[in-house]
Homo-oligomer: A and B are copies of this chain.
């Protein structure tokens, strides 16, 4: 029995609320149960120096967590003077995931920065961030299209992410914090709308896992991502 009484292949209640921030070209407040992330997409007519003059754009991401998003207060990274290792790892993952489904040539020499700020954390902040980021990005590209800044299909596919893990010996989908801190194994899958893999990250938190166990997690993830992609499509419809 999962602490949340969910079935093993059941997602938490997911919501994707668009247009939550007045100024951003795209934004989304994504909730996976008690995990709440505010995502904005910002369009800027400039590129990182190493990318200039190559005729293509860039999508990058930054990630942060409000100090009291967590059970105990976490030190503010701006006060500590640096982003910690986990933050850097997550924001690199979000950026790679989004770039995999964007046609950077078609975007043109511009940068879209996606900011994911966790207002409340109950496990799965990185998967919620990626899932919500797609919505904010889609809105930003829609904003550009309305202004004839881009043509054709810049957004090649959906992208969504979900965690799964082995909890009390059973593969389960979309871990919350209570499960995550107890799970033997934890994996995050970033997948496209057509079921292909963009990123897989599997970690044995306690004991190494077999290849068969990994395949079971992949099957669960596939199910979860299919559902999340449906929700994304409804959100932007």
Residues of A within 8 A of B (CB): 21-24, 27, 34, 38, 40, 42, 44, 62, 64, 66-73, 76-83, 85-89, 91-92, 96, 100-101, 113, 115, 117, 119-120, 122, 157, 187, 191-192, 195-204, 207-211, 214-215, 218, 222
Contact = CB atoms under 8 A, between A and B. Distances in A.
22 contacts: A21-B120, A23-B69, A23-B120, A24-B68, A42-B68, A42-B73, A64-B66, A64-B76, A67-B113, A78-B82, A78-B83, A78-B87, A85-B91, A88-B89, A100-B207, A195-B211, A196-B210, A197-B211, A198-B208, A199-B201, A199-B202, A200-B214
Contact of A198 (B197, B203, B222): B203
A131 to B, nearest CB: 16
A228 to B, nearest CB: 15
A207 to B, nearest CB: 8
Contact of A115 (B23, B68, B117, B198): B68
A87 B85 CA distance: 9
A25 to B, nearest CB: 9
A83 B76 CA distance: 10
Contacts of A66: 38, 40, 64, 115, 117
